Amino acid sequence: MTDTSKKPGWFKRLTEGLSRSSRQMTEQVVTVFGKKPLDQAMLDELEEMLIEADLGPNAAARVTEAFGKARFGREASEIEVKEALAEAIGAELVERQGRFEPLSGPRPYVVLFVGVNGSGKTTTLGKIAADLTGRGAKVLVVAGDTFRAAAVEQLKVWAERAGASFMSRPTGADAAGLAYDAYEQARTENYDVVLIDTAGRLQNKSGLMD
Ligand SMILES: Nc1nc2c(ncn2[C@@H]2O[C@H](COP(=O)(O)OP(=O)(O)O)[C@@H](O)[C@H]2O)c(=O)[nH]1
Ligand SMILES: [Mg+2]
């Protein structure tokens, strides 16, 4: 078992950090846009803010354009600014929304989380696990990031919070073997979903991806 005394602190810091960054961002946007008619300089500033908030330059440009289209030359109240920005960001996400229906179709449904370090694999896995167990699914969370001990601990916290089962191996163990065994176990024990975390890698590193 992990040292449970550490968990609330870690989780609290995480959620506080997340809400702090989105709050700062919103306050910044409202300060810049709430007071006068929207002009190009303000749009440039918005684009910069979005890039600083890690949106990616292309997405930032698209969101800024959509926001500008709706608001250019107009003064807006704080609530209107927030709504217009939320709408522009929402539209950006809808386009990329894939069909993710793990609870319909054959079981177990297996999801492998891949991507660059720090892109949010483990956190997203935790959120999805919580959503699925909340809907009554039997979920197995697998620590396929066998590279770092801390990665295993981080995922274990998420699994416990979600009420999901958890499977891991000692640091350095073969990740593919673990994934295979997890799948076998999920089949025998009638799990609905298997969520497999992996160590970070760039998508173009085909050796690592394989
Ligand atoms: N603002 C924000 N931060 C996030 C989100 N998801 C993850 N993070 C943070 O990004 C960092 C890396 O997340 P993690 O899930 O460990 O990424 P991984 O390396 O891909 O597993 C952590 O500090 C997370 O708290 C998100 O949706 N929004
Ligand atoms: Mg991770």
Q: Check which CATH number belongs to the domain holding 13 and give it.
A: 1.20.120.140
Mean of pLDDT over the chain: 83
pLDDT at 47 over 80: yes
Q: Measured in angstroms, how far is the CA atom of residue 151 from the centroid of ligand 2?
A: 6
Same domain (yes/no): 136, 86:
no
Q: Determine the atom of ligand 1 nearest the C-alpha atom of 17.
A: 25
Specify if 162 maps to a domain: yes
Range of the domain at 165: 109-209
Query: Exposed (0-12), middle (13-18) or buried (19+): which is 80, by Cβ within 10 Å?
Result: middle
Highest mean pLDDT among 1-10, 56-65, 66-75, 84-93: 56-65
**Number of compact structural domains in the chain:** 2
Query: Which of 1-15, 109-123, 125-139, 167-181 has the least mean pLDDT?
Result: 1-15
Specify if 8 maps to a domain: yes
Last residue of a domain, one of 36, 63, 95: 95
Same domain (yes/no): 114, 182:
yes
Q: Determine the atom of ligand 1 nearest the C-alpha atom of 145.
A: 21
Average pLDDT estimate for 145-160: 92
* Residue 17 banded pLDDT, cuts 50, 70, 90: low
* pLDDT score recorded for residue 125: 96
Same domain (yes/no): 11, 65:
yes
Same domain (yes/no): 57, 18:
yes
Q: Residue 67, Cβ neighbours under 10 Å: how many?
A: 25
CATH number of the domain at 149, please.
3.40.50.300
Average pLDDT estimate for 35-54: 84
Same domain (yes/no): 19, 88:
yes
Q: Determine the atom of ligand 1 nearest the C-alpha atom of 197.
A: 21
Last residue of a domain, one of 95, 129, 147: 95
DSSP state of 4: G
Ligand 1 binding pocket, CB closer than 6 Å? 14, 18, 21, 115, 117-123, 200
* pLDDT score recorded for residue 122: 94
* pLDDT score recorded for residue 35: 65
- Pocket test residue of 11, 123, 197 for ligand 1, highest count of atoms within 8 A of CB: 123
Query: Of all residues in the chain, what percent carry a pLDDT higher than 70?
Result: 83
Q: Could you give the CA distance from residue 24 to residue 29 in angstroms, rounded to a whole number? A: 9
Same domain (yes/no): 74, 132:
no
* pLDDT score recorded for residue 23: 66
* pLDDT score recorded for residue 8: 46
* pLDDT score recorded for residue 4: 40
Q: Determine the atom of ligand 1 nearest the C-alpha atom of 154.
A: 16
Specify if 104 maps to a domain: no
Same domain (yes/no): 87, 171:
no
Same domain (yes/no): 60, 114:
no
Q: Measured in angstroms, how far is the CA atom of residue 165 from the centroid of ligand 2?
A: 18
Which listed ligand is nearest to 21 at the C-alpha?
1
Query: Which of 20-24, 149-153, 189-193 has the least mean pLDDT?
Result: 20-24
Specify if 102 maps to a domain: no
Question: What pLDDT, in 10s, does the model give residues 86-132?
Answer: 888 888 888 777 778 899 888 999 999 998 888 899 999 999 999 99
